[in-house]
Chain A
Amino acid sequence: MNQQLPTNGLPEGQQLPEDLKKNVFLTTVDNVYNWGRARSMWPMMFGLACCAIEMIAVQAARFDLSRFGMEIMRASPRQADLMIVSGTVSKKMLPNIVRLYNQMPEPKYVLAMGACATSGGPFKEGYNVVSGIDKFIPVDVYVPGCPPTPEALLYGLMRVHEKVFKQSVKTAPWYRKDQLNEPVPQPVLGPDLYNPKDREALKKIAEAAQAANQG
Chain B
Amino acid sequence: MTHPISTPRASVSIVLAGSGGAGVMTAGNMLLEAAAIAGYYALMTRSSGPQIRGGEAAAMVRIATTPVENVEDHFHVLAAIDWQNINRFAAEIPLDASSLIVGDPDHGEPPDVFVKSGASYAPVGMKKLAKSIKGGWPNMVSLGILAALIGLPESAVARAVEKSLKKRPDSLEASLAAVRAGMHAAEGMPARYPLRPAAEAKTPRWLITGNEAAGYGAIRGGVRFVAAYPITPGTELLEWMAPALTKVGGALVQAEDELASINMIIGASYGGVPSLTATSGPGLALMMEALGLASASETPVVVVDVQRVGPSTGIPTKSEQSDLNIALYGFHGDAPHLVLAPNSVADCLTTTQWATHLAEMTQAPAIVLSDQFFGQARAVVDRPADLVFAGQRLTAPANSPDYKRYALTDSGVSPMAIPGTPGTVYTADGLEHAERGTPSSQATDHLAQLDKRQRKLESVDYGHYWAEVEGEGELAVVTFGSCTAPVREAFAQARRNGFRARLISMRLLLPAQTARLTEALAGVKRVLVVEQTHSKQFYRYLRSEYDVPGSVSSYSRPGPLPMRPEEIVSQLEKWSRA
Q: Do A and B come from one complex?
A: no
